[in-house]
Structure 1
Amino acid sequence: MSPVTVITGASRGIGAATARRLAHAGHDLVLGYRTDHAAAATVLAAVHATGRRAVTVAADTTDPDHVARLFTAADDLGPLTGLVNNAGVTSPIGPFTDLTHTDLRHVVDVNLIGYVLCAQHAVRRMTTGAAIVNISSAAATLGSPGEYIHYAAVKAATDTLTVGLAKELAPRGIRVNAVAPGIVRTDIHATSGVPDRADSAAARIPLGRAGEPDEVAAAIAWLLGPDASYTTGTVLRVAGGL
């Protein structure tokens, strides 16, 4: 029986790269996305081209009803074996005192509340051998001063969620890990108001360049796979040395 994996934020960036890699590894997929129907359809076509089964589900992961719909779609594919909690947002880069309540609430709701809701639905369905990968960020330990401290704080909460859930689920044979990317070449930087951040930040990255989505997807796929069978409660940093 093929693995069945839910990926949130699957229409772009790291989520889309992960979908393509997991499809090649034999996973059937539920591709969650929020609004970009065309982008989701492109990823769906790429998955189908590998011969794997997949469906797209438009879902806001901060809405419990939408999350339920996402996992109901997974039930139609078979027993759930994996979750990639990837849907995430930033807000405009700037001083901490300029942060608006609206931006703060949105970042917390998407990057933390959404992860918790999706993990709850996944865990209710999972059995021995299943795995969850939460997408954290190197910002969780760097703090992101002058950029988005609130985002860094929420990603630190993601790391704590990962460790706690890993310990709680270990007796059931369910593994929970996180991947913490550094600066990766995706369009998430445009929402922070600095679309060229991947290039402008290269000088402060020890490896001298931004990462690519496929490099992060490789780490996610490893954590979901059998080669990581003794790995749980780990935050795997994929950040070019940051």
Structure 2
Amino acid sequence: MNGSSVAIVTGGSRGIGRAVSLLLAERGYAICLSYVSDSAAAQAVVDAITAKGGKALAVRSDVGDEADVIALFQAADKLGRLAALVNNAGVVDLKSDVADMSAARLQRMMNTNVVGSFLCAREAVRRMSTKRGGAGGVIVNLSSVAARLGGPGQFVDYAASKGAIDSLTIGLAREVAGEGIRVNAVAPGIIATEIHASGGEPDRVERLGPGVPMGRAGTAEEVAAPIAWLLSEEASYTTGAILDVGGGR
């Protein structure tokens, strides 16, 4: 992979996105990562990559905003040819029963997690498709084991948004398989990142980790590695797959 091959990592400043950005940079991609509010964290990732001789750019972009998504991809275009998209950006909310969820909560959840992933995939396909003059590419979406567990009494809305990601992955993979584009997803389980605190449960990893069949939570790096594999030529005949990275959960 030469330095002119660009990978966009949405939500690339923290957690899984940060781990993916760093790993893909090590593998020779120029990284364009998006963030919403924490510019210092995003810049720290860029600095870590450039310190090792890599190319990286951080762009403030809310993936639920179409204009922001277009601007993100236009910024990435300046780095070189888009070869990879990691649709990682997503949100959770406070634990709630469906009966108590507001329309505003549901709209925020679906706009970021579902519409945002669709918009980014759209822009990626427009650039990658061999039918549109592109050279092909790979998209990896971030699903969750919540899509099949359902998140009852906690976050059925989040689980449903990830179910939509599974459908996007399968449908888009079949739609663009003849256009030089592979589309897959990874479905993490309990992973030790800051997302749990943002959902009001900072102790969730410690509480639920021991109940996972493997006896612990996973790390962001343990999710980044299979993402990198799906992006690689080693996965050249894999498309439409949803890879479970849940420790057996």
Please, what TM-score do these two structures have when normalized by structure 2?
A: 0.95
Matched to 1:25, the amino acid is: R
Matched to 2:26, the amino acid is: H
Structure 1 residue 228 corresponds to structure 2 residue 235 = yes
Runs of 4+ in 1 over 2 A off after TM superposition: none
Structure 1 residue 83 corresponds to structure 2 residue 76 = no
The Cα of 1:163 is off from its aligned counterpart by: 0.4
Counterpart of 2:81 in 1: which secondary structure?
coil
Contact persistence 1:23–1:50 (CA under 8 A): no
Tell me which of 149, 155, 160 is aligned to 2:156.
149
- Corresponding residue for residue 11 of structure 1: 13
The Cα of 1:72 is off from its aligned counterpart by: 0.4
- Corresponding residue for residue 193 of structure 2: 186
Q: In 1, Cα distance between the equivalents of 2:180 and 2:136?
A: 6
The Cα of 1:50 is off from its aligned counterpart by: 2.3
The Cα of 1:95 is off from its aligned counterpart by: 1.8
Counterpart of 1:241 in 2: which secondary structure?
coil
Counterpart of 1:29 in 2: which secondary structure?
strand
Q: In 1, Cα distance between the equivalents of 2:52 and 2:189?
A: 29
Kindly tell me the number of residue pairs found equivalent between the two proteins. 242
State the Cα deviation string for residues 62-112 of structure 1 (Å, max 9, x = none).
Answer: 111110110001110111100000000001012221212221111100000
- Corresponding residue for residue 217 of structure 1: 224
Q: In 1, Cα distance between the equivalents of 2:232 and 2:189?
A: 22
- RMSD (CA atoms): 0.9
Matched to 2:204, the amino acid is: R
- Corresponding residue for residue 63 of structure 2: 61
Tell me which of 104, 116, 119 is aligned to 1:117.
119
State the Cα deviation string for residues 128-187 of structure 1 (Å, max 9, x = none).
Answer: 441000000000011111110111111011000000000011001210000000010011
Counterpart of 1:198 in 2: which secondary structure?
helix
Note the residue ranges of structure 2 that are not aligned, 5 or more in a row: 129-133
Structure 1 residue 132 corresponds to structure 2 residue 134 = no
Please, what TM-score do these two structures have when normalized by structure 1?
A: 0.98
Q: What is the percent sequence identity of the aligned residues?
A: 50
Quick check: 222-231 or 119-128, which moved more? Answer: 119-128
Q: In 2, Cα distance between the equivalents of 1:87 and 1:111?
A: 7
